[in-house]
Amino acid sequence: MPRVLISDKLSPAAIAIFKARGIETDFRPGLKPAELREIIGQYDGLAVRSATKVTRELLDAAPRLKVVGRAGIGVDNVDVSSATARGVVVMNTPFGNAITTAEHAIAMMFALARQIPEASASTKAGKWEKNRFMGVEMTGKTLGLIGAGNIGGIVADRANGLRMKVIAYDPFLSEKRALEIGAEKVELDALVARADIISIHAPFTEQTRNIMNRERIFAMKRGARLVNCARGGLVDEAALAEALAAGHLAGAALDVFETEPATASPLFALENVVCTPHLGAATAEAQENVALQVAEQMSDFLLTGAVSNAINMPSVSAEEAPRLKPYMELARLLGALAGQLTASQGDAVKAIRVEYEGAAAELNRRPLTAAALAGVLAPMMGAVNMVNAPSLAKERGIEVAETVLERSGDYATLLRVTIVTEAWTRSVAGTLVGTGKPRLVEIKGIAVEAEFAPHMLYVTNQDRPGFIGRFGTTLAEAGANIATFHLGRDAPGGDAICLVGLDGPLPDGVLAQVRALPLVVRAIPLAF
């Protein structure tokens, strides 16, 4: 039975979901880092909000951990790189608090436009400074969105309802999507120059760090306003304070800061700045939604292999997971065969190609390719799985390619894994038979119909009379019981392949005897 630890405050309804799905669940918020490290090795899943820091040291102490679920959008508190290297799936919940965060951004815009916080403080102080707080209307103003994903799209929808003109910059924004959300797609510099209000809704990455730097802040229209309810580190806070103090900008509203908790900032002393303590997702509805969502996602993954909203691996829906499962196993086995054959020669891999033919071509192929990569790399690198295989391949400069073949072949569905080194290019292919059982059908272009077995022996030899008898006798005399025996050759008297399934590991010394047989070119023990 899978076991999950919830180390931050989470809704009781989320805990109930885990338990109803048959997952053993421990709710222990407030653990100190050392206490968490002591117990994390007992768990398959870890559910967190923002308080728990999932560090490399914590992951090192969690050999059993398969998934980290973050109830919220940002994963700043999770070392995603270390999790990926260790094969741990990292999930977030990008939709549970989207409306709440978008509404907060709109609220911040109104607070700036009508100087609501300052007016409130003045009135509560017994003043009646009606002439001091002259606001501006939102209607007719140009709103520039930096980031037009889920939250940005909701902000655009609300802004259109306010009769604002919406322009948006997002490197992934298509013209069709821009039309759907009612925005004009523009480049970043054009947005900065045109917008009366800029609202940021981008993730924090090395590419977006200080996306609103000093140059862009001072390139904004004089009297414009800036809102950031996305992530700290997207705005140069010192430059923003300078622009506000100089009167270049009319105001700014920030819900997030480069350092949090933000207890000191040059922005705090400025009257035309509205600050909130990272409240974007702080509504009862959002907190409940993300808690329920992370519980469902983690449960689906641990019980069925379905992957939703993962930061570091392809998504697999709960509906397609059962259909993909046998294909993922086939891809892994083919990759493992190709990887073991390659590892035995010690050649450096330059490229890995995965081909899909027939029914396989119509599937969600990214997880299948990841499974094939894991199979190929594991014999050479050790602890590799679907999560870390793509990044390991990239780190080593291995080119990975997918090919879809629409032609009709001998099989209704076919996967082929090809390995390319400096010296050679070789492939293995397989299909599914019966109720989805993986079957090998080709090695190096030679037809070989074979089942996969936990222990196998792969032999290439010259096709001459008498070889099979001598080979079988050698195994029999060593006490190696043959479970299956499969043969293939490229032509009579040419190169031949013999693939033998064994009841157990090859006894000591037998491999050397097989390799010493006349006509044997290579002999490699395989494990699956």
How high is the pLDDT of residue 493? 80
How high is the pLDDT of residue 255? 97
Statement: residue 270 has pLDDT above 80: yes
- For domain 3-96+285-304, give the CATH superfamily: NAD(P)-binding Rossmann-like Domain (3.40.50.720)
Residue pair 156/166 in contact (Cβ under 8 Å)? The answer is: yes
Residue 348 pLDDT level (bands cut at 50, 70, 90): confident
The yes-or-no answer on residue 278 being catalytic is yes
How high is the pLDDT of residue 397? 86
Distance CA 7, CA 191 (A): 42
How high is the pLDDT of residue 385? 79
Sorted by where each begins, the domain ranges of the chain are: 3-96+285-304, 98-275, 316-452, 453-528
Of 295, 289, 310, the C-alpha closest to 387 is: 310
Q: How many CB atoms lie within 10 A of CB 211?
A: 20
Statement: residue 406 has pLDDT above 80: no
Cross-sheet strand order for the sheet of 349-358: 399-405, 349-358, 413-421, 425-433, 437-443, 446-451
Distance CA 367, CA 105 (A): 36
The yes-or-no answer on residue 231 being catalytic is yes
Q: How many CB atoms lie within 10 A of CB 348?
A: 12
| Whether residue 261 has a cis bond before it, omega within 30° of 0 | yes
Predicted TM-score of the model (pTM) = 0.64
Distance CA 255, CA 218 (A): 21
Rounded mean pLDDT, 150-166:
96
* Joined tokens for residue 10: 């989470």
For residue 248, the SS3 value is coil
Give, in degrees to the nearest 5, the angle at Cα 288 between 309 and 316. 20
Residue 317 pLDDT level (bands cut at 50, 70, 90): confident
For residues 110 and 314, the model is more confident at 110
Length reported for the chain = 528
Statement: residue 423 has pLDDT above 90: no
How high is the pLDDT of residue 407? 66
Q: How many CB atoms lie within 10 A of CB 134?
A: 8
Rounded mean pLDDT, 337-355:
88
Domains 3-96+285-304 and 453-528 share a fold: no
Task: Write out the H or E segment, with its range, that includes residue 60.
Answer: helix 56-60
C-alpha atoms less than 13 angstroms from C-alpha of 317 in its C-beta half-sphere: 4
- For domain 453-528, give the CATH superfamily: ACT domain (3.30.70.260)
Distance CA 228, CA 407 (A): 51
List the catalytic residue out of 70, 86, 104, 231: 231
Rounded mean pLDDT, 487-500:
88
Highest mean pLDDT among 243-257, 297-311, 447-461 belongs to: 243-257
For residue 446, the SS3 value is strand
- Topology of 316-452 in CATH? 60s Ribosomal Protein L30; Chain: A; (3.30.1330)
Statement: residue 492 has pLDDT above 90: no
433: which strand partners? 437
How high is the pLDDT of residue 52? 95
Residue pair 131/314 in contact (Cβ under 8 Å)? The answer is: no
Distance CA 60, CA 40 (A): 10
* Pairing of the two strands 455-462 and 520-527: antiparallel
How high is the pLDDT of residue 273? 97
How high is the pLDDT of residue 173? 87
How high is the pLDDT of residue 228? 98
Average pLDDT, the chain: 92
List the catalytic residue out of 35, 137, 260, 399: 260
Cross-sheet strand order for the sheet of 251-254: 184-185, 165-169, 142-146, 197-200, 225-228, 251-254, 273-275
**pLDDT tens, residue by residue, 13-60:** 999 999 999 999 999 999 999 999 999 999 999 999 989 999 999 999
The highest-level CATH class for domain 98-275 is: alpha beta
List the catalytic residue out of 21, 104, 216, 278: 278
Placement of tokens 């604002």 in the chain: 164
**pLDDT tens, residue by residue, 177-198:** 999 999 999 999 999 999 999 9
The yes-or-no answer on residue 132 being catalytic is no
User: pLDDT > 90: what percent of the chain?
Assistant: 69
For residues 407 and 521, the model is more confident at 521
Statement: residue 408 has pLDDT above 70: no
**pLDDT tens, residue by residue, 195-240:** 999 999 998 878 899 999 999 999 999 999 999 999 999 999 999 9
* Joined tokens for residue 335: 């990759």
